[in-house]
Amino acid sequence: MRTVRALSPLLRRAGGRDARITTALACTAFAVVTALALSVAGGLLAFQARAAEPVPSGGHVFGYLYVSLAWTALALLVVPLITLGGAAARLGVSRRDARLSALRLIGVTPREVVGLTLVETAWQGLVGAVAGCVLYVLLIPFWTLFVFQDRPFTFGELWVGPLVLAGALVVIPLLAAGSGAVSLRQVVVSPLGVSRRVRAPGLRAVRVLVAGVLMIGFIVVSIAMRSFGAVAIGVLLGSFGAAFLALNAIGPWVLRQFGGRRLRAARTPEQLLAARRLLDDPKAAWRVVGGLGLAGFVAGALAVVPVLAAAQAERDATSEIIGHDLTTGGLLTLSLTFVVAAVSAGITQAASVLDRRREYALQHLAGLPSDLLDRVRRREVLGPLVLVSVGSAALALVMLSPLFGLLALRSMTGPLLLVGCLALGCVLVLAATEASRPLLRSVLADTVVRAD
């Protein structure tokens, strides 16, 4: 412990430009996670407060419906947010292999090496969390622009209070350290720093079976539910959860099949490299686009909302408000998911450039054109992105068809909204991955890839 205490401040200051870039990226990611998590928590608290109010007029009757919907949005965002936190922690760990194995050589024990890494990652988490709290406060005026239950939120409603803020400052660093510990277990830091890449274990087809059962279960439950009406909303939400589990089970498997197909069809170097990189770790690829898969699923479900809202609005004003709020809330959740997925994708790309820095630099010395790596990156991200977002939106339309029939296709507003959102999200993610371009250029400009 004494070694950890003595060395950690030194390590924090050590490291060159790369270390500064990765630290900045990791802190940014933790800040985004903190700010968005606090914003969503603020929204949840606001709906809870509104639900607890005495009922003066129509809009509040459905207070608890809003609370459960806010919980749903929170649940939807938890997975991508944790993914982003994990990506940031992995990035934090990735550049430390070399330094840490040097420490092993001078006699620091493995336990102390792990301790040092966790202290560093937690420190980044803390810096990010502080920045995230500031960002959250700056974002509140923006959130007050949104109208729910026929009135905009106030600053006071969205303010989570000092206790929750303090909680974030504790929880985010702990989560960061936890994710760091998990990734350190994967990168075995031996005294000689040999972290070997081997073939990822195969993904078994049993995933498809599990996913199939869950999806059919959902369809059966929702057909049965139609006769029971809205009382079974809890069951429905549970089935939604099952559908997400199904997506998560099937996602990496589908990406693996997709990668295999593309590998066989690959003709050019960039097609070959992009397919191999996807096959190398389909689970990692899924972690990046998986959030979008879930968002696409929600977007698909939401495509029916404008039709439902229009149908209901003919009857009463409350239904109109709920329809409006469902659309707003859904779009908001979708946008947040896209932002988080985009930051995740950017961070993951940066980590991947740093992980492969030596082989990239040496390939470049041997004449590999640098724009080839740009093309590989775009191909690597875009393929799974389009597959997953379009695929999951289509899946949602199919799975929800027993509930809503072909309502979604009756009006063009919903599908257009869906296509627009997905296209915008894909562009956002691509733009975020381009952020790793300067890092790649600096890695390729490095001709001194040998120690002496």
Partner 1 sequence: MTTTPLAGPDRLTARGLVKRFGPTTALAGVDVTLRPGESLSVMGPSGSGKSTLLHCLAGILQPDAGSVVLQPASGAPLDLGSLGERRRSLVRRQHFGFVFQFGQLLSELTALENVALPSMLLGATRADAELTASGWLSRLGLDGMGDRRPGELSGGQAQRVAVARALVTRPAVVFADEPTGALDQATGYDVMRLLTETTRAAGASLVVVTHDADVAAWCERRITVRDGLVVDEARRAGGAATVPAGAGTSVHGSADPR
Per CB under 8 A, residues contacting partner 1 are: 196-199, 266-269, 272-273, 276-277, 279-280, 356, 358-359, 362-370, 372, 447-450, 452
Please identify, using beta-carbon distances, which residue of 2 and 450 lies nearer to partner 1: 450
Place of tokens 């991200």: 381
Of residues 274 and 322, the one with the C-beta less far from partner 1 = 274
CA distance 54 to 119: 48
Task: List all residues 6 or more positions away from 259 whose beta carbon is below 8 Å from its beta carbon.
Answer: 275, 276, 278, 279, 282, 285
CB of 386 to partner 1, least distance (A): 21
Q: How far apart are the first and last CA of the chain?
A: 33
Instruction: Say if CB 354 and CB 443 are below 8 A apart.
Output: yes
> Among residues 53 and 452, whose Cβ is nearest to partner 1?
452
Place of tokens 């997925």: 341
Choose between 368 and 387: whose C-beta lies nearer to partner 1: 368
Q: How far is the CB of 99 from partner 1 (least distance, A)?
A: 17
- CB-based contact 386:422 (threshold 8 Å): no
Quote the least distance from Cβ 349 to partner 1, whole Å.
14
Q: State the minimum distance, in angstroms, from the CB of residue 367 to partner 1.
A: 3
Nearer to partner 1 (CB atom), residue 104 or residue 276: 276
Q: How far is it, in rounded angstroms, from Cα 110 to Cα 8?
A: 15
**Residue 368 Cβ, how far from partner 1 at the closest point, in Å?**
7
Q: Shortest distance, CB of residue 352 to partner 1, whole angstroms?
A: 10
- Specify the residue, 279 or 403, whose C-beta has the smaller distance to partner 1: 279
Contact, 87 vs 29, CB < 8 A?
yes
Closest approach of Cβ 274 to partner 1, in Å? 10
**Pairwise CA distance, residues 442 & 21, whole Å:** 11
Q: Which of 2, 172, 14, 198 is nearest to 100 (CA)?
A: 14
Q: How far is the CB of 266 from partner 1 (least distance, A)?
A: 7
DSSP 121-188: HHHHHHHHHHHHHHHHHHHHHHHTT-EETTEEPPHHHH---HHHHHHHHHHHHHHHHHHHHHHHHHS-
The residue among 169 and 372 lying less far from partner 1, judged by its C-beta, is 372
Nearer to partner 1, 167 or 193 (CB): 193
DSSP state of 359: H
Smallest gap from Cβ 198 to partner 1, in A, equals 5
Cβ closest to partner 1, residue 325 vs residue 355: 355
Rounded to whole angstroms, the Cα distance separating 96 from 189 reads 10
Nearer to partner 1, 75 or 362 (CB): 362
Residue 380: phi, psi to the nearest 5?
A: -65, -35
Q: Nearest distance from residue 185's CB to partner 1, in Å?
A: 17
Q: At closest approach, how far in Å is the CB of 363 from partner 1? A: 7
Query: How many whole angstroms separate alpha carbon 322 and alpha carbon 309?
Result: 8
How do strand 147-148 and strand 151-152 relate by DSSP bridges?
A: antiparallel
Nearer CB in complex with partner 1: 282/291: 282
**153 CB-near residues (< 8 Å, 6+ apart):** 43, 46, 143, 144, 146
Q: How far apart are CA 288 and CA 283, in angstroms?
A: 9
Distance in Å, CB of 389 to partner 1, minimum: 24
Q: Of 99 and 276, which has the nearer Cβ to partner 1? A: 276
- Report which of 267, 229, 440 is spatially closest to residue 351, judged by C-alpha positions: 440
Q: 169 Cβ partners below 8 Å, 6+ apart?
A: 126, 129, 130, 133
H or E segment at 14?
none
